[in-house]
Structure 1
Amino acid sequence: MLALVACVSVARAEDGYGLWMRYVQADASKVEAYRAALGDVVAPDRTPTQRAARDELQRGLAGLLGVQPRFHTAPAGTAALVLGTPDSSPSLVIFQPELEDIGEEGYLLRQTQLGGQTVVVIAARRDIGVLYGVFHLLRLLQTGAALSDLDVRETPRMKLRVLNHWDNLDGYVERGYAGGSLWDWHTLPEWLDPRYTDYARANASLGINGAVLNNVNANAVSLSSAYLRKAAALADVFRPYGVRVYLSARFSAPMELGGLATADPLDPGVQRWWRGKADEIHALIPDFGGFLVKANSEGQPGPQDYGRSHADGANLLADALAPHGGVVMWRAFVYAHDVPEDRAKQAYNEFVGLDGAFRDNVMVQVKNGPIDFQPREPFHPLFGAMPRTPLMMEFQITKEYLGFATHLVYLGPLYEEVLRADTHVRGPGSTVARVVDGSLDAHALSGVAGVANIGDDRTWSGSHFDPANWYAFGRLAWNPDQSARDIATDWVTMTFSRAPDVVAPVVAMMMGSREAAVDYMTPLGLHHLMARGHHYGPGPWVAGGPRADWTSVYYHRADRHGIGFDRTTRGSDGVSQYAPAVARTFDDVGQVPENLLLWFHHVPWQHRMRSGQTLWTELVHRYGRGAGYVEAMQSTWGGLRGKVDEPRHRHVAAFLRIQRDEAQWWRDASVAYFQSINGLPLPAGETPPPHPRAYYQALQFPYAPGDGR
């Protein structure tokens, strides 16, 4: 039997630190059934990962069931939960045939008969699969699922499921809105903050198996011997949880650290330097994952500085890592030296001709859309266009263009929209998900990366709702066919309450929040209208500066006659970078989805929309609709007072007030600006902005958080 824990009535501190792993006691109607179903636990404890699984079960069952589980390392007559691999738990050998095809990280979670009694089994080929299965079981308990007839078989669809941290060595996080860096480089490697372990636990609960520790705008010092020892200390903490460490590599490091006169990837001395550096890293971090590289983009050094290609640069590092099993994630986010005709075409133009030129351990990391993590973009045309090269999806979890941490914007629908988009490169069903999971072109190497918004804030992500995006990213990285709504339901249930009258309205708020943000920021396919540099607030008037494609006017091209970027075959011909079936749809103003109309077409203000309204009327309406949705979220959240703990309810309510004011600001500033361009009267019933365009344009925010510094 399970040992009962003495219960002491203590107010639970709800500050967000527990994330979705709060393990609050299960509903009374479930507790006895769960206790009976789980009984004593047979679990090995010989390896760090095995001990991590036992520790998580102890933490979870004690919180959920009000008991301390009784662990055994060998079969016990009263056992009702058995976990392990066929090697670590001999009673699970009978599952060996089923485990053969679930991979190194997959697991079985099943109620079955074992040794003449009914048991719940968590079986896997490797310890890490067992740990993932433990977290799955705890999720079922937290969400009130029945354990009878339990039969789960899980295998991750993506091989690499990685968080990219844009953390600098001075503790500042670029595009981070949750305080300073999680990594205290000054006290590493000697001091290992317990928060590092909790970070690894959170990732393991989602199946995230990698972390890039430093900014893609990399400092060469990150590869110095002193900092490699610090990274090794973090790797030691993460290893039991299946999280491998990666580092962003500065391409010019051989010059800055090694004193070489060049970083030319074809130079033998440069090649020797990188081989030596890879050997040094792997001596300290045997399971080092590899390098993430941003090169020849936004001023970063790269192979093009020497007349070489992206493939030459990536292969240099891939060859150095290959003996150790490491990979190179080479970013396709690039800028040419000259401003292109169409920024959206640039990555495709630079990379598609290199298909098949990369080593087998190189992944080209492609942003979800062709510009830069906008509230809405079409899927990137590179997906499906490089069949001989594994492409790695790059999503942004931190909301650089979506209101930072203060705006409630659930990104699950954005991720789902992109992953389910059909490239049509092999006919219908050639989804982006099938490109990045490798199944479309039979790639063994596959992956997805998310730019993290994790810092030293107690909430981890800067608000009580932003962890939902970390959570959704991890769940969809494991299985991109999951539903964003179902994921949100699990997250709300584990984070706030199991009560249906809390879960249903909060999930409804979340599911509409991304579309609302698109409406009040960049409706109908508008894009990159944020203020310069820090991207805080509206800036449709932004013009001038060093590059036209760093301005808003470059993208919206509004004048007295119309608005939108013409990427049709009559314009920049950006549509032709897509498969013919997709290109035809995007090229036709009558067929293009209206939510991408102004991305692909420059149309008159009087263009008739499918609603029957003019474009101008529809545009103003959508700006107001987005702001109105935020007010509705405020009302919904206000109605949950007393059903959500007061500290978190108060914090979310304050942030919703910020979002309401800023959504209205976006609406008013954008309408004032575009009206000053087209000279049209406001549609009937629309409230005029309270200030003229000049007022909004004069606003300055020099200390907005998260800029590139």
Structure 2
Amino acid sequence: MAKGMRMVTVRLCALLLLVTVLMTGGAARAEDGYRLWLRNAPLSNAAQHKRVTVTVIGSDSPTVRLARDELQRGLTELRVAPHAAITLRKRVRSGERHGAFRIDGATITSASDTGLLYGAFALLRELGQGKPLATVRLDESPAYDLRMLNHWDNPDGHVERGYAGRSIFDWWHLPGHVDARMTDYARANASIGINGVVVNNVNARAMMLETRYIAKVKALADTFRPWGIRVYVSARFSAPRDIGRLKTADPLDPAVRAWWKAKADEIYAAIPDFGGFLVKANSEGQPGPQDYGRTHADGANMLAAAIGDRGTVIWRAFVYAAENKEDRAKQAFTEFQPLDGKFASNVVVQVKNGPIDFQPREPFHPLFGAMPKTRLSLELQITKEYLGFASHLAFLAPLFEEALDADTGRSGSVSRTVSVIAGVANTGSDRNWTGSHFDQANWYAFGRLAWNPKLASDQIAREWAAQAFSRDPAFLNAVVPMMLGSRDAVVDYMTPLGLAHVMGTGHHYGPAPWVSDLARPEWNPVYYHRADRDGIGFDRTPTGSNALAQYAPDVAKRLLADEELLLWFRRVSWDHRLKNGNTLWEELPRRYDRGVAAVERMRGTWATLAPHVDAQRHRAVADFLNIQRDEAQWWRDASLAYWSTVSGRALPTGHSAPRYPLSWYQAQNFPEAPGE
């Protein structure tokens, strides 16, 4: 071939490649995780639809137009049939909760525009799992009116406990420029029914309430509104003093109350559907009403009066104080339970799932069921602060389900005692949104359980995996069990048998059960395990702190008998005999080894699934599983090195010695750990 002809051929090939990439939307990035569970992978190799018809009856709002567009795009991408015709019908149904919908084959009906949008996503979700259009029958209503994400994002772009890059909120360029990613983020949330977003850290900065930031929040609210999402702001309690030039933030001071009323009016003038305030007060050094001798109810009700019936005040019950000598696990109950019935009707008290702080496993919080006259919110953590960050595969639906299903012994399950579900978000600027591909499943699981707390973890895992990776039964039958067992694996190699809070200082990364020199006693891991030559565990029975008394009597008996929480509630000797016949000292290394072995099995399972997953994402997951395998071993070795030293006992026969001496593990330092 002549040189000139070869050059023409090369240029033509390059042009064809460019055209192909442009026509496919950038195939090189098509499987980088950005599309989350909304990939709408084709159901067959058949040609795309020649025609997709979506008929709208009864409404023509921006939200309904989004629903129409989602169906047209989704059905085209899925390639359901040569022709698809769907009807969106707005029709009043008495007693229907906002957002409820019904699907009868090719017809979606709802009393609200948002319900039609949710119905559109639900139909595509069913089709995305391979279900025939004609067989889809759903009649769904959200269990809770408010299903929200709490972002711990700071205005400078740093995300506290964030492991997926910088904040997705570009405060510097708002309100003049709203990144297109904000629309994609809102779309993802709407697809799983999330309808509220707190856009800033609970450790709030007062400037978030300044006029210039209200304009920025308005730009986000305008973007999110068509997707059925209201915006909330974390408010710093001392704002009247910090930016309002008042000398006090006393909630009973008339000038303070007037300042908050004026500030609320300013916000609602700009954002008529503003959701309200989230407040962290008198916790971990944050200002609050107790600084002035007032109660949490005094503080919350002052803000509630400023907002009125326009929105909601969400007041966090995560409180503990250095000067309080009471067991940290008891402090929230002690402060809040006596205030039951004293909060305004537009106040929600937000309670973490457990009494300490999002541990891999802990009992449900005793406030659930103990405040029947107060609206409560269940706060879950989607970002894995204590479960290996984004590095470790830990599917959290079983943890969420465990918390929701817990019997309070007073008012039924936890899920029945709450009116709001909140999740600490795990999203960031990483291309795949969550730092690792499998962490997307935790965002998805939160949304699905916030919509319907009765869903089973295996159903959620199967839904997500089919949409995010592959609907091939061979893939699903392997990956779903792997996901379902992953959280228990983390518990085994990090905090078996009820151990808690044994992680590194500040960043909460890696094992550090030896730490004992921090300024506040309840920041030290030794505070929680209390190990010495005689035994290990925190005595929360009547002979100790008696935290058990905060639970209903029957529940307390059950918790005390649960060996998965043994060291949470009891201090026992190393020779304590468990139900399986092992002593505690024999069982601890068995649990650690079981956790490490489970990760090794996950690695093996994932390796066999390469034919079902694109190479880019398969390699990324494999890399992270290698990291998890190494770090599970590190957790195991460092923990056993410490327990062996403290107890003065050699490891039982059959369990390998740690790779390094205890001093080596104690010397490790991680200033570069993300999210601190």
Superposition TM-score, scaled by structure 1 size: 0.90
User: Are 1:366 and 2:351 counterparts?
Assistant: yes
Between 1:619-628 and 1:634-643, the stretch displaced more is: 634-643
User: Are 1:127 and 2:113 counterparts?
Assistant: yes
- The equivalent of 1:105 in structure 2 is 99
User: Which amino acid in structure 2 is aligned with residue 65 of structure 1?
Assistant: R
Distance 1:164 1:536 in 2: 22
User: Which amino acid in structure 1 is aligned with residue 335 of structure 2?
Assistant: E
Which of 326, 334, 349 in structure 2 is aligned with 1:349?
A: 334
Q: CA deviation at 1:341?
A: 2.9
CA contact (8 A) 1:339 1:547 kept: no
CA contact (8 A) 1:328 1:361 kept: yes
Map 1:41-56 → 2, pairs under 5 A: 41-43=54-56, 46-56=60-70
- The equivalent of 2:44 in structure 1 is 27
SS at match of 1:688: coil
- The equivalent of 1:599 in structure 2 is 568
- The equivalent of 2:484 in structure 1 is 511
- The equivalent of 1:58 in structure 2 is 72
Identity %: 59
Distance 1:67 1:188 in 2: 43
CA gap of 1:521–1:9, structure 2 versus 1, over 3 A, is closer
- Output one character per residue of 1:34-71: Cα deviation in whole Å (capped at 9) or x when no partner: 979x96320267311011111211221121118898xx
CA contact (8 A) 1:540 1:673 kept: yes
Distance 1:40 1:258 in 2: 55
Q: CA deviation at 1:9?
A: 11
Q: How many residues align?
A: 653
CA contact (8 A) 1:339 1:548 kept: no
Distance 2:360 2:353 in 1: 11
Distance 2:500 2:249 in 1: 36
SS at match of 2:651: coil
SS at match of 1:14: coil
Map 1:167-566 → 2, pairs under 5 A: 167-323=153-309, 325-426=310-411, 430-436=412-418, 446-566=419-539
Q: CA deviation at 1:673?
A: 0.2
Distance 1:264 1:10 in 2: 56
Q: CA deviation at 1:337?
A: 4.2
Q: CA deviation at 1:335?
A: 1.4
SS at match of 1:470: helix
Distance 2:483 2:437 in 1: 12
CA contact (8 A) 1:58 1:68 kept: no
Q: CA deviation at 1:568?
A: 0.7
CA contact (8 A) 1:61 1:68 kept: no
Distance 2:465 2:335 in 1: 42
- Output one character per residue of 1:184-222: Cα deviation in whole Å (capped at 9) or x when no partner: 011111111111001000000000000000000000000
SS at match of 1:448: strand
Distance 1:169 1:473 in 2: 25
SS at match of 2:427: coil
Q: CA deviation at 1:149?
A: 4.3
Map 1:637-676 → 2, pairs under 5 A: 637-676=606-645
User: Which amino acid in structure 1 is aligned with residue 481 of structure 2?
Assistant: A
CA contact (8 A) 2:43 2:130 kept: yes
User: Are 1:83 and 2:109 counterparts?
Assistant: no
- The equivalent of 2:34 in structure 1 is 17
- Output one character per residue of 1:650-669: Cα deviation in whole Å (capped at 9) or x when no partner: 11111111111100000000
Distance 1:461 1:67 in 2: 33
CA gap of 1:654–1:629, structure 2 versus 1, over 3 A, is same
Distance 1:503 1:336 in 2: 47
User: Are 1:685 and 2:654 counterparts?
Assistant: yes
Q: CA deviation at 1:11?
A: 4.3
Q: CA deviation at 1:642?
A: 2.6
CA gap of 1:406–1:68, structure 2 versus 1, over 3 A, is farther
Distance 2:477 2:642 in 1: 38
Distance 1:190 1:43 in 2: 34
CA contact (8 A) 2:251 2:257 kept: yes
User: Which amino acid in structure 1 is aligned with residue 609 of structure 2?
Assistant: L
Q: CA deviation at 1:19?
A: 0.1
Q: CA deviation at 1:252?
A: 0.4
CA gap of 1:702–1:339, structure 2 versus 1, over 3 A, is farther
- The equivalent of 1:625 in structure 2 is 594
Q: CA deviation at 1:692?
A: 1.3
Q: CA deviation at 1:101?
A: 2.4
SS at match of 1:401: coil
Structure 1: 4+ residue segments shifted above 6 A? 6-10, 66-69
Distance 1:200 1:273 in 2: 32
SS at match of 2:462: helix
Q: CA deviation at 1:249?
A: 0.2
Q: CA deviation at 1:26?
A: 1.1
- The equivalent of 1:40 in structure 2 is 53
User: Which amino acid in structure 1 is aligned with residue 562 of structure 2?
Assistant: P
- The equivalent of 1:440 in structure 2 is none
Distance 2:194 2:206 in 1: 26
CA contact (8 A) 2:44 2:79 kept: no
SS at match of 1:338: coil
CA gap of 1:9–1:424, structure 2 versus 1, over 3 A, is closer
Distance 1:8 1:18 in 2: 14
- The equivalent of 2:3 in structure 1 is none
- The equivalent of 2:19 in structure 1 is none
Distance 1:68 1:258 in 2: 63
Distance 1:339 1:357 in 2: 23
CA gap of 1:240–1:68, structure 2 versus 1, over 3 A, is farther
User: Which amino acid in structure 2 is aligned with residue 103 of structure 1?
Assistant: R
User: Which amino acid in structure 2 is aligned with residue 271 of structure 1?
Assistant: R
Distance 1:632 1:105 in 2: 41
User: Which amino acid in structure 1 is aligned with residue 53 of structure 2?
Assistant: D
CA contact (8 A) 2:49 2:82 kept: no
Superposition TM-score, scaled by structure 2 size: 0.94
Between 1:405-414 and 1:42-51, the stretch displaced more is: 42-51
SS at match of 2:133: coil
**Uncovered stretches (5+) of structure 1, i.e. residues with no partner:** 1-5, 70-78, 87-95, 112-119, 437-445
SS at match of 2:611: coil
Distance 1:339 1:402 in 2: 28
**Uncovered stretches (5+) of structure 2, i.e. residues with no partner:** 1-21
CA contact (8 A) 1:172 1:181 kept: yes
- The equivalent of 1:74 in structure 2 is none
Distance 2:169 2:23 in 1: 36
Distance 1:149 1:486 in 2: 18
User: Which amino acid in structure 1 is aligned with residue 78 of structure 2?
Assistant: L
CA gap of 1:288–1:68, structure 2 versus 1, over 3 A, is farther
Distance 2:398 2:562 in 1: 17
Q: CA deviation at 1:640?
A: 1.3
Distance 1:643 1:486 in 2: 20
